[in-house]
């Protein structure tokens, strides 16, 4: 079984690329972030033709998340319960797979703009609320995967310039502590379960030849619960879509599990 996460930075712009990627990489589930469209504009028909049903949570111009699945989806939850957020950032669903139900949480984590800003304070509140949600979800669903654009580079090796960017956004101690707190709930960073090439990133700035110079960050993650950890056989970043004309600034991350 394969699950992928991809911040597409506008599904209306990138839909042909998503469909082409799915045709070449028929994963069981693909989680998308930054849809930047409302639910009534979501391309259910095109995705159904490609073999995927979808649960979406959109928002005009900004944010938006979706889960595409080859398996039936049920028990969909949109946003963090009791958090009162106006931004469409979280969607969760249960996939009924041949190996049994699997709970999938997909998040477009808050960017935070810069430390000490109001947007950073919102990020801290949001991350704490997400921890509470994940804790409750894990209690109900031992087979759980949390994916998304976390907007956090967890370690120095996840940044092209760890010293120059130290304590800037995505690199602050506070953000990294929240990432560690998610792991402490009983989750494992699937990418770091394996030897990976040095300077492996999932996002590159459009400006200043960021991709061509590999000036990137690893901020897109797949975390698996203890019940699923023994089944994980691979986790990779697929850099190929970042080479497309008009690409997203993110690349897909894919986990493979023997379930």
Catalytic residues: 108, 149
3 state SS for 172-212: CHHHHHHHHHHHHCCEEEHHHHCCCCCCCCCEECCHHHCCC
8 A C-beta contact, residue 106 and residue 29:
no
Q: Is 94 helix (H, G, I), strand (E, B) or coil?
A: strand
8 A C-beta contact, residue 146 and residue 182:
yes
Q: Is 190 helix (H, G, I), strand (E, B) or coil?
A: helix
Question: Between β-strands 187-189 and 232-237, what pairing exists: parallel, antiparallel or unpaired?
Answer: unpaired
């Amino acid at each position: 079984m394969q699950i992928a996460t991809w911040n597409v930075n506008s599904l209306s712009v990138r839909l042909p690329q998503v469909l082409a990627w799915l045709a070449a990489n028929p994963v069981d589930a693909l989680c998308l972030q930054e849809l930047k469209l409302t639910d009534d504009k979501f391309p259910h028909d095109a995705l159904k033709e490609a073999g995927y049903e979808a649960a979406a949570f959109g928002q005009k111009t900004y944010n938006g998340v979706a889960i595409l699945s080859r398996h039936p989806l049920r028990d969909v939850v949109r946003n963090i319960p009791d958090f009162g957020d106006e931004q469409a950032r979280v969607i969760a669903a249960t996939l009924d797979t041949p190996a049994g139900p699997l709970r999938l949480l997909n998040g477009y984590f808050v960017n935070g703009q810069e430390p000490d800003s109001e947007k950073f304070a919102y990020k801290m509140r949001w991350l704490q609320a997400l921890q509470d949600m994940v804790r409750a979800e894990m209690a109900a669903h031992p087979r759980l995967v949390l994916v998304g654009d976390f907007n956090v580079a967890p370690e120095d090796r996840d940044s092209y310039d760890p010293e120059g960017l130290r304590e800037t956004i995505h690199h602050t101690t506070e953000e990294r502590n929240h990432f560690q707190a998610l792991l402490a709930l009983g989750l494992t960073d699937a990418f770091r379960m394996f030897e990976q090439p040095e300077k492996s990133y999932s996002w590159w700035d459009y400006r200043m030849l960021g991709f061509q110079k590999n000036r990137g960050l690893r901020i897109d993650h797949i975390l698996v619960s203890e019940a699923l950890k023994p089944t994980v056989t691979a986790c990779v970043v697929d850099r190929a879509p970042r080479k497309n004309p008009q690409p997203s600034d993110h690349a897909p991350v894919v986990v493979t599990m023997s379930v």
